[in-house]
Amino acid sequence: MDEAKLQAFMGQLVGDMGGAAMMANVLLGDELGLYKAMADGQAVSPEQLAERTGCHPRLVREWLNAQAASGYVEHAGGRFRLPEEQALALAVEDSPVYVAGGAVVLASMFLDKDKIAAAMRGDGALSWADHHPCLFSGTERFFRPGYRANLVASWLPAMDGVVPRLEQGAKVADIGCGHGASTIVMAQAYPKSRFHGFDFHAPSIEQAQRRAAAAGVDGQVQFATAGAQDFPGADYDLVCFFDCLHDMGDPVGAARRAHAALKPGGKVLLVEPFANDELDDNLNPVGRLFYAASTCICTPNSLSQDVGLGLGAQAGERRLRHVFMEAGFSGFRRATETPFNLVLEATR
């Protein structure tokens, strides 16, 4: 036993436990409006923040102490300040780096721990619909900033010939669309195009319909409950899968259905969590986050469906290419990437 290695590992674990405890505190800050009340970058006393948010001053002080110990806020002379960079991540919902929604997804993993343990002891299956509802809202809030920042600005332009079609008026399917965040971003950018969002989770589709109405794009967007292997419609110019293909039991069946539903020369936009092909190349902070979430959410969902391929959230480009080649697509390439996403293009 190497004492120094033990000490180093204990140090790592204390950091990880502090991080996990802080995610509960991030949830509190998000829900109670504590970060938003500090978003002006001015230093506040705990009493001032308590007054602004209608919260108990002693608990607000303790919360601020934890935030300061984590480097989330700065402390000087009993006053606390949320720096602009931290505000972008924790207080500004429209910012491209807003992550508070991610804490809600993490909360679902704790809330569903008993169900996940039962799946691990049993057949591995836990369907999306059987999770705590905070998973559905958390997923929307976690992914939406990335779609707003990247989808129109860089992902669609990185595809071959797709933007001109969208500008002229294209027919688009968004499969596994959840609350429709990606569908609505595209509809707002391309008013001449028509968008069809499908998801097998009926409550998510109902929420997507409400979101489209609130965004004023409900004339241009239709949402319907449908599985990826049998979604309706034909002659699509573009079929999209945003962070959902690896969640499906039968990704090849979903890709085959997309192939059949596309016009000749039509494209699939496949957005998946960033991953390299080999496990050893994913042993990094992003891989750690995605493997952990995949254990609790993505892989059990896949195992709950027909075929139950269990791709996992770190499938990587090589396995994803194989799915689309097996489904009959003529081309497959990496259009672009971010530190968190692979953006892949399949051509019918």
Ligand X SMILES: C[S@@+](CC[C@H](N)C(=O)[O-])C[C@H]1O[C@@H](n2cnc3c(N)ncnc32)[C@H](O)[C@@H]1O
- Residues within the interface to ligand X (CB under 6 A): 128, 139-140, 143, 176-178, 181-182, 199-201, 204, 227-228, 242-244, 247-248, 301, 305
- Nearest approach in angstroms of CB 21 to ligand X is 25
- Nearest approach in angstroms of CB 157 to ligand X is 19
Q: Which two tokens stand for residue 53?
A: 């948010």
- Nearest approach in angstroms of CB 144 to ligand X is 7
Q: What gap in Å lies between CA 119 and CA 122, rounded to an integer?
A: 5
- Nearest approach in angstroms of CB 164 to ligand X is 25
What's the start-to-end Cα distance of the chain, in Å? 57
In terms of CB distance, is 86 or 139 closer to ligand X? 139
In terms of CB distance, is 72 or 155 closer to ligand X? 155
- Nearest approach in angstroms of CB 250 to ligand X is 7
Residue listed under structure tokens 């950018």:
189
In terms of CB distance, is 227 or 316 closer to ligand X? 227
In terms of CB distance, is 44 or 184 closer to ligand X? 184
Q: How many residues does the chain have?
A: 348
Q: What gap in Å lies between CA 199 and CA 178, rounded to an integer?
A: 6
Closest residue to ligand X using C-beta atoms: 178
Q: What gap in Å lies between CA 93 and CA 269, rounded to an integer?
A: 25
- Nearest approach in angstroms of CB 74 to ligand X is 33
In terms of CB distance, is 81 or 257 closer to ligand X? 257
In terms of CB distance, is 67 or 301 closer to ligand X? 301
- Nearest approach in angstroms of CB 204 to ligand X is 5
In terms of CB distance, is 67 or 139 closer to ligand X? 139
- Nearest approach in angstroms of CB 71 to ligand X is 29
In terms of CB distance, is 64 or 181 closer to ligand X? 181
- Print the SS3 string covering the chain: CCHHHHHHHHHHHHHHHHHHHHHHHHHHHHHHCCCHHHCCCCCECHHHHHHHHCCCHHHHHHHHHHHHHCCCCEEECCEEECCHHHHHHHCCCCCCCCCHHHHHHHHHHHHCHHHHHHHHHCCCCCCHHHCCCHHHHHHHHHHHHHHHHHHHHHHCCCCCCHHHHHHHCCEEEEECCCCCHHHHHHHHHCCCCEEEEEECCHHHHHHHHHHHHHHCCCCCEEEEECCCCCCCCCCEEEEEEECCHHHCCCHHHHHHHHHHHEEEEEEEEEEEECCCCCHHHHCCHHHHHHHHHHHHHHHHHHHCCCCCCCCCCCCHHHHHHHHHHHCCCCEEEEEEECCCEEEEEEEC
In terms of CB distance, is 244 or 255 closer to ligand X? 244
Minimal CA–CA distance to 195: which of 229, 151, 135, 157? Answer: 151
- Nearest approach in angstroms of CB 87 to ligand X is 24
